[in-house]
Copies of this chain bind each other. A is one copy, B any other.
Amino acid sequence: MLMDAAGYRESLRAYQPRVFVGGQRVESVADEKLLLPGINGIGVTYDLAHDEAYQPIMTAVQGSSGKTVNRMLHIDASSSDLLGKLEAVRLVCKISGCAQRYLTHDAFNGILQATIRADANHGTDYTQRFLAYMHRIQDEDLTCGVAMTDAKGDRSLRPGMQANRDSYVHIKERRPDGIVIRGTKAIVTGAPYVHEFLVMPCRTHAKGDEDFALCCGVPCDAEGITIVARPAGRPGDPAAKFSAKYGQSTGAVMFDDVFVPWDRVFMAGETEEAGYLTTSYATHHRHSCIAARAGFGDLLIGAGALIVEANGLDADRHSHVREQLVELITITESFFACGVAASVYCSKDASGVAMPDAVFANIGKLLLATKIYDMHRIAHYVSGGLIVALPGPDEDHNPETAASLAAVLTGRPDIPYEQRAEVARFIEDLTVSKEAGWYSVISLHGGGSPEAMKREIWRNYPVMEKVALVESLLDRGVLADGSRVSKQPGRCCVTGCEVPERVTTQEAAE
């Protein structure tokens, strides 16, 4: 039974999480004005699934259950699924700025890959626990927050060596009926208005850190959980037509001896598979981020074209403006293309989950992370200084000045001042406001820092294939000793593609 946005908001009343926003305790999340834009953002993912035109994108059939679920909760089984997810995320984010809920998807896919691997290696039954859990979430159409980024404390020390063990969420106690966990997750997207938290490890662990190799599902109002959140968007701000409606909250989530029964525990000490979970989640998530920021690009492109028009310019004739818009398009679509390529060249492990190609997914994320600043620059370039020089909304109603200002600030006779101001404020909202700055940082660091992307690109790229290619062109007998090829697994960039490139193998065989 798929909920709609109103139903989702109502469903939050069934939970009593302990939430602070701006230092104040929130009585009712569903009614808290400071959180409403965030709830609206997630709401978009619910409403569109009911719209006939969007259903092919917004819903999908879950293979393990045969049921139709919201795509934000779906396990991908093919390139088409990955393309579908990519387009669905772009869709909901171009309407809402950031619809947040795709993180549930990313976690579900990553966890399933990891539990199947853990069960195979350790004879555990995590997969069946997780599938039961996931099917329930899908059936009830809930939203899970991803509680992954730990507070970290002293970064030069492993989790187990921290003076304050609470810097990382960990298993404090193992009991017959479940585990007791404690510690703080520092950045949880949508924390105050999700139904459940998926607790996940944010790094690889070594021997001795078993208590930190932890994955489980916890209701948002489980005893011992405290959520310290920032407001979502710019609720109530008259200058912010867009982000007064849609926004995103993040919160720190403190687990103070929270009990989790075993049927909600999906990893508890398997350090290697927990590391794999971190990586596979990251790959799914970076792939989703690409689509999310492409949606942001859509907003900027549209707004850019509108402000150019309102300023009385014409991109067809004024080449320096067109040049900028083309650069904005080029940035947006070139990182989106990496998401498409990651879908096409996906791979599958024993879990049957279609995993986006890590090289393309990380490149796309790296590009968006660093180029969002260029996107801001271009938006400002085409907007002119007006977006910050414009008097604020308060002045719109000042009887002593409003009319005179409106008269001289009209850019062209057929577009009223109000319309020009509205677009200018929309761009300010997207690129100048604190929320805009915040999105930049989240684009840069969310899902891992640029440095992390670069490491993943390097780790996954078939460099030795290219080395073998050059050596064969130099007539070197690489295959005689064979050591070269084995240095790095000769993984093909195009695994899973319908038109596999079998070059490497061939070169090896020649």
Among the listed B51, B340, B389, B470, which residue makes an inter-chain contact with A252, where contact means beta carbons less than 8 Å apart? B389
Q: Provide the bound-state CA to CA distance between A226 and B404, in Å.
A: 11
A87, B501: Cβ atoms closer than 8 Å = yes
Set of chain B residues within 8 Å of A446, measured between Cβ atoms: 385
Give, as a whole number of angstroms, the nearest-CB distance from A385 to chain B: 4
Binary interface encoding of chain A residues 340-377 relative to chain B, with 1 for a CB under 8 A from any of its CBs, else 0: 11101100000000000001100110110010011011
A441, B380: Cβ atoms closer than 8 Å = yes
Counting CB contacts under 8 A, is A301 at the interface? yes
Q: Provide the bound-state CA to CA distance between A471 and B241, in Å.
A: 12
Q: Provide the bound-state CA to CA distance between A53 and B502, in Å.
A: 7
Set of chain B residues within 8 Å of A256, measured between Cβ atoms: 404
A457, B329: Cβ atoms closer than 8 Å = yes
Q: Provide the bound-state CA to CA distance between A417 and B400, in Å.
A: 48
Counting CB contacts under 8 A, is A57 at the interface? yes
A389, B186: Cβ atoms closer than 8 Å = yes
Set of chain B residues within 8 Å of A32, measured between Cβ atoms: none
Counting CB contacts under 8 A, is A2 at the interface? no
Counting CB contacts under 8 A, is A442 at the interface? yes
Counting CB contacts under 8 A, is A334 at the interface? yes
- B-binding segment of A61-69, A117-125, A305-313: A305-313
Given contacts A53-B509, A56-B499, A334-B363, contact A405 B153 (CB under 8 A): no
Q: Provide the bound-state CA to CA distance between A397 and B469, in Å.
A: 28
Given contacts A154-B312, A319-B319, contact A433 B444 (CB under 8 A): no
Counting CB contacts under 8 A, is A166 at the interface? yes
Interface of A is mostly: helix
A151, B409: Cβ atoms closer than 8 Å = yes
Q: Provide the bound-state CA to CA distance between A105 and B154, in Å.
A: 49
Counting CB contacts under 8 A, is A49 at the interface? no
Closest B residue to A303 by CB, please name it: B470
Set of chain B residues within 8 Å of A471, measured between Cβ atoms: 302, 306
Counting CB contacts under 8 A, is A336 at the interface? yes
Set of chain B residues within 8 Å of A374, measured between Cβ atoms: 373
Q: Which of A1-53 contact B (CB under 8 A)?
A: 20, 22-25, 51, 53
Q: Provide the bound-state CA to CA distance between A381 and B443, in Å.
A: 11
A334, B333: Cβ atoms closer than 8 Å = no
User: How extensive is the interface on chain A, given as a class?
Assistant: 35 or more
Closest B residue to A448 by CB, please name it: B385
Counting CB contacts under 8 A, is A480 at the interface? no
Given contacts A437-B431, A509-B53, contact A80 B444 (CB under 8 A): no
Among the listed B94, B154, B241, which residue makes an inter-chain contact with A411, where contact means beta carbons less than 8 Å apart? B154
Counting CB contacts under 8 A, is A500 at the interface? yes
Among the listed B83, B337, B366, B404, which residue makes an inter-chain contact with A498, where contact means beta carbons less than 8 Å apart? B83
Among the listed B57, B359, B440, which residue makes an inter-chain contact with A501, where contact means beta carbons less than 8 Å apart? B57
B384, A449: Cβ atoms closer than 8 Å = yes
Closest B residue to A312 by CB, please name it: B155
Given contacts A334-B363, A389-B250, A405-B184, contact A326 B440 (CB under 8 A): no
Q: Provide the bound-state CA to CA distance between A183 and B156, in Å.
A: 44
Among the listed B363, B400, B469, B474, which residue makes an inter-chain contact with A333, where contact means beta carbons less than 8 Å apart? B363
B329, A474: Cβ atoms closer than 8 Å = no
Binary interface encoding of chain A residues 310-346 relative to chain B, with 1 for a CB under 8 A from any of its CBs, else 0: 0111010001101101100110011111101110110
Set of chain B residues within 8 Å of A261, measured between Cβ atoms: none
- A/B interface sample: 27 pairs, CB < 8 A: A53-B509, A54-B502, A54-B503, A83-B344, A90-B501, A91-B503, A94-B469, A149-B389, A153-B408, A155-B412, A166-B408, A228-B401, A254-B405, A302-B470, A303-B470, A323-B454, A325-B463, A326-B458, A329-B363, A337-B340, A340-B341, A376-B437, A376-B440, A380-B440, A387-B441, A419-B476, A434-B434
